Structure 1
């Protein structure tokens, strides 16, 4: 089968991306073999490319995917050959930038009918991250939160775009989202944000001017620069959840307010084969249903065309620009030629 990988860890221009032929992977008892029809690029792709040196063969990146099931393992019970699926993959296995891909059925959902494959591929990783952060890390309850609010730092990115929508559709919390450019302000408002503040200016002052004291903070990006403000502006006994990698995080600063701190990492379940891996299957099916009902909208802003060395490099460059709104996606390889 065809695949695209990189030969050298580091900057995108030095990574030496190549298209190559490799063996079709074998499947385990709980696995699906999926013909990949769409993929997307996430921050994790660029971080792995920068740090992980390939060994004997080019390293295949890619986590988000949507496609068609071609083969099922002996213990598979959730899917059958021909089903259309979407998922965010497993950090410990080969990536989705290939014609065929193997994935555990317990982290796979049914593809939304309303979206094509490329658009559907823009949803899984951000949706899982946003869902787990909101309902598991922050422990928000569906249909609750009247009178309270959540601050989402980095509202125009992939996770923020989904998180805003989930909060507005499934809870009663008000949403304060951060954005700094006219186009990102417009985007988060389109996603449903009730208030928008500029993360390039002091956050605590802006939120106090709104007369708000959020109970929850989703720190999606720039935590190092915003942590003092988070401690200042959050409600006592509030809860903060992080997805980024702050260099210095002195959580003792939250003691006087008795704050709760949590991490969200959507690969934890698949990486450690947790007993509740099936939760990602279930939540992806909820996401698909919400999309098909029109309650959630696609966050894809660019389809860069069929996957190739050139389009994949362009997707990595855009991801590293720190100016991505929503998600960039790619169509899969031509099934006939793959």
Structure 2
């Protein structure tokens, strides 16, 4: 089968930053689906791993990345019960295994969901990773209860990005929160409002912007940009007994003592935790994807695809990575095979 990967970490402009190659079609294990891929989307994790996954070395076998895909099931493992050959699925994959930038991929059925019927394959491919991340951070990490927490305030730092876009929708339409999102350019401000944000504030002067919008403190904060850069601001803006959650990691230790006097909770969200550790509740990702497929099909949620590149080519992956690395993209970029 054809695949696209890399042997060494190079700037995206380099001719060999991505290479096309032939490799064996994978064989599904007990809980695996063999999927013929039709569309993928690109996320920041893709370029971060491309930049760091083979630094100062040359891999003997190219590394295949990619963690959002839509495809049709062509084979199943002996213990598969959730899907059959011929089913269309969408999923965000497993960071410990070969990725989706290939003609075929094996994926654990417990982290795949049925593809939304009303979306094109490219539109559906834009959704799994960001939707799982946003759902988990809201409902598994902060444990927002739509009945108890309806009307409370949430600040979403990085509202126009892939995760921010769907987090705005989930926070507004499912959790019933008052949503404050950050954006600075006219097009990103408009995008956040289109997703359902009640207020859009400029991240460049965030504390003052939130206060000027009429909020001394907020109940919840989601960081999708930079934990360290926004730590002091988040500690100032969070309401006593509030909850902050982040997906971005930290280059320096996080000073949790800044949250002590307010009795504030803090959580990390890593979408791959369930698949990496095969947690007891790993099938929850299957359940979340099926639930959000229904919400997408019913029009409660809408896809966040902004651009589609046609063709399974090195050039298209380079183009997508280059755009994401610029830090100016809005919504998601997909590649249709």
Task: Give the TM-score of the pair, scaled to structure 2.
Answer: 0.96
Question: Relative to 1, partners in 2 of residues 1:309 and 1:256: Cα closer, same or farther, differing over 3 Å?
Answer: same
Aligned pairs for 1:1-338 (under 5 A) are 1-14=1-14, 15-53=16-54, 55-201=59-205, 203-212=206-215, 213-248=217-252, 249-332=254-337
**Matched position secondary structure for 2:83:** coil
CA deviation profile, 1:104-140 (whole Å, cap 9, x unmatched): 0000000000111111110000000000000011110
**Matched position secondary structure for 1:169:** helix
**Matched position secondary structure for 2:317:** helix
**Matched position secondary structure for 1:12:** coil
Alpha-carbon contact 2:8-2:59 (below 8 Å) kept: no
Rounded Cα–Cα distance in structure 2 between residues aligned with 1:143 and 1:94: 40
Alpha-carbon contact 1:143-1:170 (below 8 Å) kept: no
Rounded Cα–Cα distance in structure 2 between residues aligned with 1:280 and 1:146: 24
Alpha-carbon contact 2:244-2:265 (below 8 Å) kept: yes
* Alpha-carbon distance, 1:10 to partner: 3.3
**Matched position secondary structure for 2:149:** coil
Rounded Cα–Cα distance in structure 1 between residues aligned with 2:269 and 2:240: 21
* Alpha-carbon distance, 1:211 to partner: 2.2
* Alpha-carbon distance, 1:147 to partner: 3.5
Alpha-carbon contact 2:40-2:336 (below 8 Å) kept: yes
Alpha-carbon contact 1:34-1:71 (below 8 Å) kept: yes
CA deviation profile, 1:238-274 (whole Å, cap 9, x unmatched): 1000101222321111111111000000001101111
* Alpha-carbon distance, 1:208 to partner: 1.7
Rounded Cα–Cα distance in structure 1 between residues aligned with 2:229 and 2:268: 18
Q: Which structure 2 residue ranges, 5 or more long, are not aligned?
A: none
**Matched position secondary structure for 2:308:** strand
Q: Matched residue pairs, number? A: 331
**Matched position secondary structure for 2:221:** strand
Task: Give the TM-score of the pair, scaled to structure 1.
Answer: 0.96
Alpha-carbon contact 1:168-1:174 (below 8 Å) kept: yes
- Alpha-carbon RMSD across the aligned residues, in angstroms, is 1.1
Q: Which structure 1 residue ranges, 5 or more long, are not aligned?
A: 333-338
Rounded Cα–Cα distance in structure 2 between residues aligned with 1:147 and 1:118: 34
Rounded Cα–Cα distance in structure 2 between residues aligned with 1:16 and 1:196: 37
Alpha-carbon contact 1:158-1:299 (below 8 Å) kept: yes
Rounded Cα–Cα distance in structure 2 between residues aligned with 1:125 and 1:191: 17
Rounded Cα–Cα distance in structure 2 between residues aligned with 1:19 and 1:40: 18
**Matched position secondary structure for 1:16:** coil
